[in-house]
Structure 1
């Protein structure tokens, strides 16, 4: 290594002069440091500091370090360690091809380079490349210097990283202490507020308890009176008592039923805000969360137990008869209170009545294309008109005779219709900006205050129904594969699920769950009022179109819209 080797006195031959060996890496940095070690692999004298690089990198661990004295006393030849062997033939290199700039063994020279013009013996040209070897040494020294810098940088980075981690830990601990102080204040604040909500809730529960106790007293009193009269009273007394107490008992039963439907399970929870502000803000100025008093139906806890099972009872095919112009399409079905079924045939302008065995027992010719039908009372139904602005009321007698009672004029196009109470309908619109409206039995119309989607539905692209117990409206959107639930107290619930595909209609099922006919997948999906999918039933029909549920929630009827294979199918619910 010319220029960076050992350095001795001006005259080595002077007796008594001591020969000094300097660290070669230090000399390259223009620094004179006495060497302590010699590395036979690096072929360098090094001081202790420079030789420590061998302890940093694993690749240098196999290098052998000896003392300078030991190195100077040993005269060994450099071991080539297969550097002088041809990789292909494992023969010592003897030639150099100047044309291709490659080392050659005797075999390579004969086979691979016989057409080359200048293949010379290495021994004859070896002296001419000494300067090149020296240049390589300088490049390697420069590379090693860079590598030393990298090593120092890595060591320094490790030290800084450890310091950064320590500073973060200290900062987090300090923050934790501050947050804990804030949470101590928060605990006091929230607990006091929660206790206030508890007192208010208990007061409401006490009122309900008192009202229920009064109902129990009234029920017991009425029972005692009835039992006494029917045990020892005359026929006249019985007759008077029955008619005298009927309205009172009906009102009492209705009040108790309403109380049952309004029962709510109450829990108190605390939800943190999305962004938690930390001190120095005092907790009294900013509470990092919101204390909520939430009421929800028992369904939320036990919805799994609400899953229904359907058992087929009877099925009939809807075939074109000699009295029909087209293949029947039942666009609306509903149960009468006695178990009979009323249906409207959109294609043939008919209203029909079926008994419990799905045998046709009555028919009535309409002058318009009916869209939907709903049972209003024991012997009355209401039908929406697909060709005009009116709702027609029909009388269906116990003997299955159907007659027209009256026609109610309206200003909106209505499709689906269901009963809200004994005075009003919830009706689904088409071609209108409001998808659902309220219509009284006398034809008075008004909008609901729900946050409905801003969308106008074509006919057949949406349907609606109403859940009395929770005062909720359900809307299906076929194009969006979505079911919406709305009520007056909370925001809308949007239900999208892989099982809900092309939902064409909905009905209120057992335990006030929601039944959705999925036109595309031929399934009946049952969901809770919170949007949970409870069950899914594969129907034995193509394109299920309309569904209705009996008033006792024991049976459902489904009809479909598949051309050439239309059915009316009845199921038992378990």
Structure 2
């Protein structure tokens, strides 16, 4: 009963298979073939192939992993005319709606609703006279040369990359040797200083012992002498008494002086900065990829003097269902794999976005989160200020799509902006710029301006670490400093009202967003003049407070006091 039911299903099945089992087809069944026999030049399904294999044990049977060899069968479609989706069918038609070559199976399955289906023999008439067809061999030859050149170029590039790796490893080892030399010299100097102190103290103790021996012997000698004169009369005893008193006085003075030093000792207190600085450094230096893209590539490196132009905008909603208020984006940065991290001041959150700007994770922060910056790998630092003036820098690691706070640093001043370069952190307090180690040790206050409450709002540092850009929100200025804190330029412009966020790309392009004027500007690298205004309120720029340039997508990501990120595509 079951077999009859199964046969009826197979007989009535209207599935279109690329290869049909030959024995089943002879019996009027529509069963998909899974095997092909070179000797029999026939197809077999999973049910028929065991019978074939029992009868013809020496025949070579091919399964679907070797379908390219099935073409050896008589009647098989020529490889040029074969449908790639349905190898047993020939390409006979063209779909004009999809500009696609089709077999009858393709049309039946995917192009039933298409109106521009044409027969290939009709479309192919006169193909030999077509100029593009006649140029085809030459175009293919040129393209093959280009492909071969690309392959050879990559081969050379691979070789040079390995050489670069060897050179960098040699440099790392040289650094290690220098560090070892420095440590050896420090050890030698410290031990020499220790030996000198020990020698001095041993000399002092030797002098003390010699003085004690001398006083001890003199006292014994004088008392013995006095006792031997006991029968000689009083004058000798008196003289002995006076001399003994003098020696006793000298001995007491010496003992008094010696008793001031209860014990000679040497202590050692290590310099914690050595260990702290070394432990804060994960590597001997920064490794940066330098991929040079062609001008037609989607990811491109623009020249340093390039003036950008807007190429369209798009908004992405970053509000979460758990958010209690409107999003207020204060910081934006991009991770190496293209994920975006933002701070939401109003909702006291740090949010992780995927490449499509969708929120995939978040972590709550105890108080209001301000700026953030990428410090290497998948780690960022976030500025947090609370109402009782306890200000912190949170270190957050992103692992497998999750935000995890690993440690924090506390400061006695406000933290509104953060930037990272080398193994150091730069923190803006509103009126001053501070320079710290990664362990939170203050190196120096680089710059200060008390003419307003927010004269040092946000900061950005050039890739070489030599130039620092500061937004002076109070006075509508962009300040440019060198890495010693010396002012190089002060920039003002009618579009620069309430400057807030500032960002500098690895190539040196400088961008500023202004909260009050609702603008996004590109500024010359020296910080003295404006190159262009890339966004205004009419473009969707609303009270911007943070921006970031993504070289991966050639776009500016702008955030402000609303629920969306504005992505400005540039060219």
Task: Return the index of the structure with the highest Cα Rg.
Answer: 1
Q: What TM-score does the superposition give when structure 1 sets the normalisation length?
A: 0.45
